[in-house]
Amino acid sequence: MTAKRKQELLIALSIFLALCSIGFSFDGTAFLWFWQMYPIIAVFLLLFAFFAVRYWLKLEIQKQRQNILAAYTQNLEAREQNNFTHLLSPREIEVLVLIKEGLSNKEIAEKLFISLSTVKTHINNIYKILEVKNRREAIEKMNEK
């Protein structure tokens, strides 16, 4: 039985018991409240209804905690995926910043005093780490951060 179904049954039972405890009967001359005829039974019914509602609230709170925890975990994972800077080397971050500025591979090599093949290696590493295929996607991924 699912938690939702348990909650539905508990609330229905609680309502039924509460109504039973305040019900009345007609003896032919007057209406008698249930609690007037059998006060101890009415008290027990109300107590049982109280504990059923309390248990239902406990289940509801537990469900809300699970939802909050799931949302928090999902948010944390999304942040970790967007925080790629710890995966890139300092030089790769420099190359990525220069790519964002719109520099070509040759201009990046000249600015950083490295060879063109080293720039291409850094760019390929960046693409693999960021899981992108081109400069535009790398810049978009960097801007998401």
Q: How confident is the model at residue 95, as a pLDDT?
A: 93
The tokens for 84 are 């790629």
Q: Based on the number of CB atoms within 10 Å of its own CB, is 138 exposed (0-12), middle (13-18) or buried (19 or more)? A: buried
In three-state secondary structure terms, 85 is coil
pTM: 0.46
CB atoms within 10 A of CB 106: 10
**Per-residue pLDDT reduced to its tens digit, 14-27:** 777 767 666 666 66
Q: How confident is the model at residue 82, as a pLDDT?
A: 61
Report how far residue 85's alpha carbon sits from residue 75's, in angstroms, rounded to the nearest whole number: 18
76, 78, 79, 82 alpha-carbon torsion, rounded to 10°: 160
Q: Tell me which residues of the chain have a pLDDT lower than 50.
A: none
Report how far residue 83's alpha carbon sits from residue 85's, in angstroms, rounded to the nearest whole number: 6
